[in-house]
């Protein structure tokens, strides 16, 4: 049996002075022999991930409840998934995208990985609503803010120190765990990550880290707390980032839910942010594209790191996207363009108002029975304090058993979420009203 590739065999048995290539082949052979019987290894960082993702556990408990209570139905106020149909203008845009594929004159195949020029321009123009100037070359169209928030870490160094809000949207932490930037999880905290506490004391927006960090994930309006950062709060982070040569990853997926005109909807409203912040956004929650899939990132040309000059980070992200991503669907990009038209914006604003009316119903209903609530005013999430000192999961079971309502335990978003619970305003109004009425009538809250 010939176990050696031809080249190795010749080099090994040809009695010649060992030159560089020969040494290399010997090393290769040694490794080959040592490795005999061994197999490819997995990325063991996955094993560090805290057992069970939040939503599968919710589904498991809900299923168990339903099989123990046949005939009972549950009302879901848990997952942040949109429920209302797409608007007329949006649908027309999508239809147009489909139609274009039907004729040889307008058919397109692969497009630019960074997105179609018209859409990049429309997104850049949207920033003028916030008095912010963005160049289309700084816009990268994607299939959503979740992929972008997971992928963006890959353009930063392996030893980058990560800071996250606690509680936070789990993707920021999990993707850095998978990338190997953390140690093991101990009591819900990964070694090596800096957790920035968000609590009642700081209105659920953190103070800047005391130690030096490299990458700071901020989400405003926040999932899960519903808190929205003020100009002053964001300015402190921008100043910190500029001073420490850190980069802020700003997730503004819920920006369109801000109705208070004094609150920033983009981090670039803060002076200096273009030198230190990347912004991620999405059509998911602003236009019902959770299943359609479209998002974008802004990587300013002026953004610099300790070891890079202006333009480099933008070029790196471009390289990453052109290597790993083949562009968002051309049909969907036409839908996105329609969303950004004047009619599209007006129609989608009405859908957002609809969800925000749900948020009001939930918040007022809970407060009427003495439950302390946060968020739900400029964000579609209501962050409630669990009554009677219950843990988040204890309250999950109580709400399910007493009211048949499913919500999301705050502890699933990080240890800082323990003792809190998230209710989502995404849903049909009649279901929300029914759920709130059940909570008001059946939830036993001791005084």
Ligand X SMILES: Cc1ncc(COP(=O)(O)O)c(C=O)c1O
Stretch 66-85 residues interacting with ligand X (CB under 6 A): 80
Is 295 a residue that touches ligand X (CB under 6 A)? Answer: yes
Output 218 or 313, the one with its CB closest to ligand X. 218
Is 425 a residue that touches ligand X (CB under 6 A)? Answer: no
Is 219 a residue that touches ligand X (CB under 6 A)? Answer: yes
Q: Which residues make Cβ contacts (< 8 Å) with residue 170, sequence separation at least 6?
A: 53, 54, 412, 413, 414
Of 97, 144, 264, 327, the one binding ligand X by CB under 6 A: 144
Which residue's CB atom is positioned nearest to ligand X?
144
Is 253 a residue that touches ligand X (CB under 6 A)? Answer: yes
Output 144 or 344, the one with its CB closest to ligand X. 144
Output 113 or 305, the one with its CB closest to ligand X. 113
Distances (CA, A) of 14 to 17, 30, 54, 438: 9, 18, 61, 84
Least separation, in Å, of the C-beta of 148 and ligand X? 8
Is 251 a residue that touches ligand X (CB under 6 A)? Answer: yes
Which of 40-48, 82-90, 115-123, 144-152 is the region at the interface with ligand X (rule: CB under 6 A)? Answer: 144-152
DSSP bridge pairs for 280: 251, 297
Count of alpha carbons within 13 angstroms of residue 38, beta-carbon side: 9
Least separation, in Å, of the C-beta of 253 and ligand X? 4
Give the position of tokens 């002053």: 232
Output 120 or 404, the one with its CB closest to ligand X. 120
Q: Which residues make Cβ contacts (< 8 Å) with residue 374, sequence separation at least 6?
A: 200, 204, 225, 226, 227, 382, 383, 384, 385
Are the C-beta atoms of residues 327 and 113 closer than 8 Å to each other? yes
Least separation, in Å, of the C-beta of 220 and ligand X? 9
Is 290 a residue that touches ligand X (CB under 6 A)? Answer: yes
What letter does residue 161 receive in the DSSP assignment?
Answer: P
Least separation, in Å, of the C-beta of 368 and ligand X? 27
What letter does residue 421 receive in the DSSP assignment?
Answer: E
Of 76, 120, 126, 146, the one binding ligand X by CB under 6 A: 146
Stretch 158-187 residues interacting with ligand X (CB under 6 A): 169
Which of 12-20, 61-69, 82-90, 142-150 is the region at the interface with ligand X (rule: CB under 6 A)? Answer: 142-150
Q: Phi/psi at 163 (nearest 5 deg)?
A: -120, 135
CA gap 41, 56 in Å, rounded: 26
Q: Provide the 3-class DSSP secondary structure of residue 281.
A: strand
Closest by Cα among 280, 266, 270, 271 to 215: 280
Output 11 or 225, the one with its CB closest to ligand X. 225
CA gap 135, 121 in Å, rounded: 8
Residues that bind ligand X (CB under 6 A): 80, 144-146, 149, 169, 219, 223, 251, 253, 282, 284, 290, 295
């Amino acid at each position: 049996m010939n176990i050696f590739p031809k080249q190795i065999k010749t080099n090994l048995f040809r009695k010649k002075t060992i030159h560089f290539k020969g040494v290399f082949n010997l090393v290769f052979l040694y490794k080959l022999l040592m490795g005999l019987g061994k197999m490819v290894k997995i990325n063991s960082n996955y094993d560090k991930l805290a057992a069970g993702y939040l939503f599968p556990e919710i589904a498991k408990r809900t299923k168990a409840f339903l099989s123990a209570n046949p005939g009972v139905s549950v009302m879901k106020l848990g997952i942040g998934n949109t429920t209302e149909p797409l608007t007329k203008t949006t649908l027309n845009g999508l239809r147009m995208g489909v139609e274009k594929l039907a004729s040889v004159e307008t058919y397109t195949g692969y497009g630019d990985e960074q997105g179609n020029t018209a859409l990049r321009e429309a997104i850049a123009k949207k920033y003028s609503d916030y008095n912010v100037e963005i160049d289309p070359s700084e816009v990268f169209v994607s299939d959503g803010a979740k992929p972008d928030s997971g992928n963006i870490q890959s353009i930063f160094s392996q030893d980058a120190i990560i800071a996250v809000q606690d509680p936070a949207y789990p993707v920021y932490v999990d993707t850095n765990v998978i990338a190997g930037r953390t140690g093991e999880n101990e009591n819900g905290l990964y070694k090596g990550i800096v957790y920035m506490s968000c609590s009642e004391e700081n209105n659920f927006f953190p103070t800047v880290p005391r130690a030096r960090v490299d990458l700071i994930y901020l989400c405003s309006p926040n999932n899960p707390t519903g808190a929205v950062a003020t100009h002053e709060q964001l300015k402190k982070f921008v100043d910190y980032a500029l001073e420490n040569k850190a980069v802020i990853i700003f997730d503004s997926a819920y920006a369109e839910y801000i109705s208070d005109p004094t609150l920033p909807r983009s981090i670039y409203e803060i002076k200096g942010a273009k030198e230190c912040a990347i912004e991620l956004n999405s059509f998911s929650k602003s236009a019902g594209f959770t299943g359609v899939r479209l998002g974008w990132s802004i990587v300013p040309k002026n953004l610099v790191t300790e070891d890079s000059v202006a333009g480099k980070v933008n070029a790196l992200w471009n390289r990453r996207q052109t290597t790993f991503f083949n562009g968002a669907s051309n049909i969907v990009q036409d839908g996105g363009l329609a969303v950004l038209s004047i009619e599209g914006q007006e129609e989608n604003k009405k859908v957002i108002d609809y969800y925000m009316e749900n948020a009001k119903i939930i918040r007022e209903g809970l407060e009427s029975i003495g439950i302390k609530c946060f968020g739900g005013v400029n964000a579609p999430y209501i962050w409630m304090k669990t009554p009677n000192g219950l843990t988040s999961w204890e309250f999950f079971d109580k709400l399910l058993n007493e009211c048949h309502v499913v919500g999301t335990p705050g502890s699933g978003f990080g240890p800082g979420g323990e003792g809190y619970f998230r209710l989502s305003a995404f849903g049909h109004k009649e279901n929300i009203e029914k759920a709130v009425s059940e909570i008001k009538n059946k939830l036993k809250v001791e005084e």
